[in-house]
């Protein structure tokens, strides 16, 4: 049985742009039953906001630290987020969206 739902924000730093990182995160988040969004943010950063079971968010963090084969994640920052953060990149709140870069 899945645990209580929560929302987290992650920022991955390193070689995370141009290597399929956003699509990797979106695919894995959907597989884990998470909703939210992922986008490029500045140079060498990808931002992720995801909502779902704590165990699934923990697994997403583990996967984000690894990334797809061509990525090199040097740092992964994580913090609690809220519904306003979730709505920034995914207005429907359903599924995992690849949002526009900032």
Residues serving a catalytic function are 22, 40
Tell me which residue has tokens 């870069």: 101
Q: Are strands 45-53 and 96-98 parallel, antiparallel or unpaired?
A: unpaired
Which token pair is 12?
Answer: 């991955």
CB 14 within 8 A of CB 75: yes
Tell me which residue has tokens 């990149």: 89
User: Which DSSP category does 58 fall into?
Assistant: H
Tell me which residue has tokens 């987020």: 81
């Amino acid at each position: 049985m899945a645990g209580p739902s929560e929302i987290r924000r992650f920022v991955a730093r390193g070689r995370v742009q141009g290597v399929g990182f956003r699509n990797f995160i979106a695919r894995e988040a959907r597989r884990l039953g998470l909703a939210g969004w992922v986008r490029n943010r500045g140079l060498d950063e990808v931002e992720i906001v995801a909502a779902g079971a704590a165990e699934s968010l923990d697994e997403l963090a583990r996967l984000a630290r690894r990334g797809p084969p061509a990525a090199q994640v040097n740092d992964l920052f994580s913090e609690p987020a809220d519904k306003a953060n979730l709505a920034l990149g995914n207005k429907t709140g359903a599924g995992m969206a690849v949002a526009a870069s900032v």
